[in-house]
A and B are shown apart, each in its own frame.
Chain A
Amino acid sequence: MIGVLATELLKARRSRVPEVTALAFTVVALVGGLFMFILQDRERARSIGLLGAKASLAGGAADWPTYLSFLAQSTAVGGMIVFGLVEIWTFGREFGQHTVKDLLALPTPRVTIVAAKFVVVALWCLLLTAQLLVLGLLIGTVLHLPGWSADEVLTGLLRAGAVALMTVLLTTPVAFAACVGRGYLPGVGAMIAAVFCAQIVAALGYGRYFPWSVPALCSGLAGPGQPPPGALGVVLVVLTGAAGAVGTALWWRQADHDR
């Protein structure tokens, strides 16, 4: 397994995708910081117009709880897109670049290769989350945000981490779609469908029963009116993640690889 993990890490490291995803999450942290900067001075926020109005949607207060909540919400929604793209790229590239045929008749079981890919995706996404949170702490410190309390900040960071973990789990069906569709586009389609449906279902008030809405609800994106997803929501997320991973592994093992 270590050797297979090393090959997956090498393939990821040699591409531009890690840099692009790191840049995307850097932009998220900076945009959050910009909102806080604007909200620190309401007069300046109003004079900026549209940007000021958008910034007020983040809760309207420039303090640590608001900023950490923004980061958790960004992980839920932006994470589904960025983590989904990482998943699609990791699996879809083998089909797009026709390298999958070199992975099918090896002494290493196909399931081990699939598992190594999922491990690398999970590590990659959790590193991105860590980068976002570290940057967030730095930006919040530079802005001298009020409301610092060790408990409050720890809770905010743990919540963002838990949301990231759930979001990573929810991307495994996207990998399944990329494999069954043998390329990037089916994965992208599945990811867009998941994000779109999550918004609709959450807006209808059934978000806690729909796995892809659960991270956003946990992050507080739906606002105080929505009940938290609870244990059922978390169980649904874990089951969805497991189903995606097992389905992908079974597909690699059993399907006809005729292209």
Chain B
Amino acid sequence: MVIVASGLTKRYGEVVAVDDVSLRIAAGEVYALLGLNGAGKTTAIRMLLGMVRPTGGSVTVLGTEIRPGAHGVWSRVGYLVETPAAYPDLTVVENLTVAARLRGLRGRRQVDDVVERLRLTQYARNRARTLSLGNAQRLGLAKALLHRPELLILDEPANGLDPAGVAEIRDLLLELSRGQGVTVLLSSHILTEVARLATRIGVIDRGRLVREIAAADLAGHVRRRLSVSVRDRAAAEKALRAAGFDVSRGEGDQVVLTDPRAIGEPEVVAGVLVAAGCPPYRLAVDQDDLETFFLRVVEP
């Protein structure tokens, strides 16, 4: 096991930030900690990285028990915690050089490689203070990847990135995991991103790990529905019921179908409505947002 956490607990006075969390993450897994803001994801990650001392429980990372002064293991771990930070007066390359020296790396090759890999080449000589939030996030990820770690611990790695950047980072992490066997533990509050990337998902709520779901089973937990907007809702409902669909009313002039057949073949629904003389002007398959998903997963 790459990460073994047993009964991990962190209390701040009366407040329990992380409550008896146990995790076992195997080599090559992409494990996502999914939770709302304030759920305890970052505190759990900081405990895994030895930044915060647990009130109870223990953590082993790559076979090393994490305690104050245990620093040897970190040469095999890359991490990004919360919003990325960099020395504003230093350029991108200088920030990476500082990180490389602190990791005992010699020479410029690794810095140049990671600059190219994270597409920071055109900003390499720019001071960190001038970077956009997205490029600052890339710099943070570059620091995490600089030494080619076996384990990546990333707290909200998609923060601040535009959609293209999110897809790019997702592809990079998939390539690292599937191509190079890197184990990834990431936290996120973006359900769709987690669904595309993770092999296993741990749902964390109010400090407790309430559920672990294999990514393959996620579809069974996320409710989807087909929303159809029509001019004549009554006629549409009648036609769809006649065709054997369960129909409910949505907002405004929407008709909502949760039938798997309707979600899987929306063109059939469109055909029924066109034939009935009330063609849809909008058809969309919607998915639960994180809050709705949580209400269902957390409160059975």
Contacts and interface: CB of A to CB of B under 8 A. Distances in A.
Nearest to A100: B85
B250 interface: no
**What 4 A-B pairs are tightest by C-beta distance, nearest first?**
A98-B85, A107-B75, A3-B101, A14-B89
Interface in B82-99: 82-83, 85-90, 94, 97-99
12 contacts: A10-B90, A11-B89, A11-B90, A99-B85, A105-B74, A106-B71, A107-B102, A107-B103, A107-B104, A108-B104, A256-B51, A257-B46
- B contacts with A: majority SS: loop
A203 to B, nearest CB: 41
B114 to A, nearest CB: 15
A12 to B, nearest CB: 10
B101 A7 contact: yes
Given A103-B102, A109-B71, A254-B53, 11 more contacts: A7-B101, A10-B97, A14-B94, A97-B85, A97-B86, A97-B88, A99-B87, A108-B104, A109-B69, A110-B71, A258-B51
Interface string A29-49: 000000000000000000000
B244 interface: no
B72 interface: yes
A101 B52 CA distance: 11
B72 A107 contact: yes
Chain A, interface residues (CB within 8 Å), range: 20 to 34
Contacts of B200: none
A104 B49 contact: yes
A256 B43 CA distance: 10
A6 interface: yes
A126 interface: no
Interface residues of B, number: 33
B157 interface: no
Given A98-B83, A105-B77, A6 B50 contact: no
Given A107-B75, A257-B46, A102 B90 contact: no
A110 to B, nearest CB: 8
B143 interface: yes
A144 interface: no
B149 to A, nearest CB: 11
Interface string A78-104: 000000000000000000011101111
Interface string B99-113: 101111000000000
B69 A104 contact: no
Interface in A217-241: none
Given A104-B50, A258-B43, A258-B51, A6 B88 contact: no
A132 B143 CA distance: 40
Contacts of B98: 7, 10-11
A108 B81 contact: no
B69 A108 contact: no
Contacts of A6: 101
Contact of A102 (B69, B71, B85): B85
B129 to A, nearest CB: 10
Nearest to B85: A98
B68 interface: yes
Given A4-B101, A7-B101, A108-B104, A254 B68 contact: yes
A233 B79 CA distance: 47
Contacts of B83: 98
Given A11-B90, A14-B90, A253 B85 contact: no
B96 to A, nearest CB: 11
B51 A7 contact: no
B52 A256 contact: yes
B102 A4 contact: yes
Q: Kindly name the residue among A15, A105, A110, A256 whose own CB sees the greatest number of chain B CB atoms within 10 A.
A: A105
